[in-house]
Structure 1
Amino acid sequence: MDDTNRNNRKKNACRQEGTLVAHLGVAVEVRFDATGEKKIIRVKRNSGHVVGDRVTVDSDLLIRQKRKSQLTRMDARGKKHCIGANLDAVCIVAACEPLPPPGFIDRAVIAARAAHLRPILLVNKCDLPNSKQYEKELKKTYAGPVSLFILSAITGTGVDRFTANLSGLRSIFVGPTGVGKSSLLNRICPAINLQTGALHESRKRGRHTTTVSTLHRLKGGGELIDSPGFIDFGLADIPVTDLAFHFPGFERSHDTPCQFRNCLHRSEPGCTITSLLDRGRISQERYKTYLSILHELESLENELRYREKNKRRKK
C-alpha cells in the first residue's frame, strides 16, 4: 500500500498544468502555472493544439483540457482552422494600407460574436495622410455596436487608451498581412521586439513577418495572442438562420423578432430587417453585404449536405 501511494505521489509530481503560449508547427511551448517556467514539447503537426489551450503535461505527454471558447475560421480550400483558445476578445486590425480584403472585417466580427467573444476593431496607421477618410468610413459602419479604436503603432497615438481596455482579458490579433499587428505588439510590449516588414510597393500588400502564433502577457494585465496574417476569413459552423443576429449593422433588429423564426430576411412576410431597410434604418450597402455572405453560407451548407449524401450512398 505504501509503495502504491509512493508511486502515485511520484506520478502526480510529474504532472504539471499550464498554458500553451506558442505553436511552432511540430512543437509547442507550454508555460507552467506553478513555476512560470516554459518547456518545448514535440507534437504532431496536425495535433489540434492551439495557443491559449490549457494543458496537463505528464512527462512529454500533452493532454488538452476543455476549452471555454475558441475562434475558428475557414480557409479558401474549405479547411477549418482554430486560431485561438480560451479567448475573451478578438482584436481585428485594419489599415488604409493595405486595405483588408472585401468582407474581411464583417466576417471577423461575425465569427467573434458567434463564438461569444467581444469584437474590437483597431484602425492602425492613423499617421498616414489617407487614413482620415478610411477612418470615417469605418466609424460610419461599425462605431457603436463594435468597439473601435483609432491608433498608430508608429507614433503611439491611441495605444494606451486601447490597451487599458484589455486588462483582465485574453485577446487575439487578427488581420491581413501588412496592417501592423507586429508593430502594434512591439509598441504594447517593447521587450518582445518582433520583426516587422515593409509593404510591397507595387501591390501595397504586406510581407509575412509573423509565422507562428504566440501568447504574451501585458504589463497592465491581460494577455494577447499574435497570429500570422491571412487573406481570407471564411465563416465556419454558423447556421444561415443565425447570420443576421451576428451581422454588424443589424443590431436594431434584435428587439423585434421577425414573424418566422427561420426568416432569412429576403422577401419573407413580417421581416423586421427588410422593414428597417425600407424605413432607412439599415443601409442598402449593409444589406447587400449581408446577402452576399448569406449566399456564401447557403452554398457551403448545400455543399456539406451533398458530401454527406454521397458518404451515405457509398456505405
Structure 2
Amino acid sequence: MIRLFIFIALVVVKVCFFFVFISNPTTLFSGGSDADFYDAYALGEESLTSSVWPDWLRALDQVGLYSRVGVSIFLMALGVIIIPVLCGRLALVNGYPYKTRNCLDIAIAISMYPTLFYYTLDIYRDVFMLFVFLSGLLFVKWSIHAVFSWKKIFYALVICAHGYLLYLFRGYLGFAFLISYLCSFMFRVRKMSFILHVVPMLIALNIFYIMGFFEPLMAYRGLFDGVEGGASLGIRFDSAFMFIPDFLLNLLYQLFGLYFPNIMAIFVFFMESIPFLIALVYVFKNRAYADNFVNFMVAFSIIYSIIWLLGNDNLGTAMRLRMYVYVSFIICSLIIYQRKKIFLKEQVFS
C-alpha cells in the first residue's frame, strides 16, 4: 500500500504543479521553445516542419479541436500516469510474484524522472514519442512470447507500424527501432564482452568515419556551432586519429551526463544519470539472466545511441534524446532481477 500511496502522491503533486502553471500561461508558455513553434504551426503561422507532430496539431486546429492547454493536459496525463504504469507493465516477468509491487517500483522510479516531467508542461512531441516507443516495446514483448505464427505476424505488422510512426517523428529513432527488431534475434547480451565486442565496434565506427559514412551526421552536428550558451560540447570529430577518444568523451558527457556547465546539469546527473548508471552496471554484471526482450532493448540502445551521439553536440538536446535509453535500462534491470531470483529459487528447490 505504501508504494501505491507514494505513486498517487507523486501524481497529485505533479498535476497540481501543472495546473498552477496553466493558471498563468505566460509562465508556462514562455518564448523560445519548440512548443512555441508547434503552436504557431498549428495556428497556420509557420509553413516548414521536420516531423509529423506539428502537422497533427494543425489537423486538430483545422477541425476545431486544437487547444495548446488541452494538448498539454493530454500529454501531462500520458507522462504522469500512463507512461510510468506502462513501464511497470513492461518490466513484469511471468512466474515472478509481487507483480503489483514491482510495477509500482518502476512507476515510481519513472515518475521521478525530471526531464520527462518537464516535457509534460507544454506541447512538446517528446512525451508522445516516448509513449509510442513504449507501446511498441509492449508489442515486441508480446511478439517474443507469442506461440502461434499468426499472432507473431500480426505483432510484427504492428511493430513495423510503430517503427514507421517513430520514423515520422524522428528518423533515426524509428530506424533504430526497426533495425533492432529485425536484428535482435542475432544479438545476445549474455555473450557480450569488452574485448570481443566493444573494442571491435569502436574500431569499426572509426573505419566508417574514415570512409565518410558519417558525413550527414557530422554535417548535422556542425549546426550546433552557432548555438549560444554553455550547453554545447564543442566536440567536432575533425580527426580520424582522435575519433575514438572524441567518441568516448562524447559518450561520457552526453549519455552518462558527466558534463556540468551549470547547477541544473548536476541536479539532472543525480536524478537521471546515477539511476541509469546503476541499472547499466547491474544489467551487464548479471547479463547471464537476460532474455530476448532485454536483448532487443540493449540492441536498440546501442544502435540508437551511436547515431544520436554522433549527430548531437548539445547537452540540453541530449537529455531528451537519451530518455529512451535510460528508460530501457531501468526496465531491463528489473527484468533481470526477477529472472535471477526465479533461477536461484529453482536451484534451491531442485
Task: Pick the structure with more strand per residue.
Answer: 1
Task: Work out which of the two has the higher radius of gyration on C-alpha atoms and give 1 or 2.
Answer: 1
Using the size of structure 2 for normalisation, the TM-score is 0.25
Using the size of structure 1 for normalisation, the TM-score is 0.27
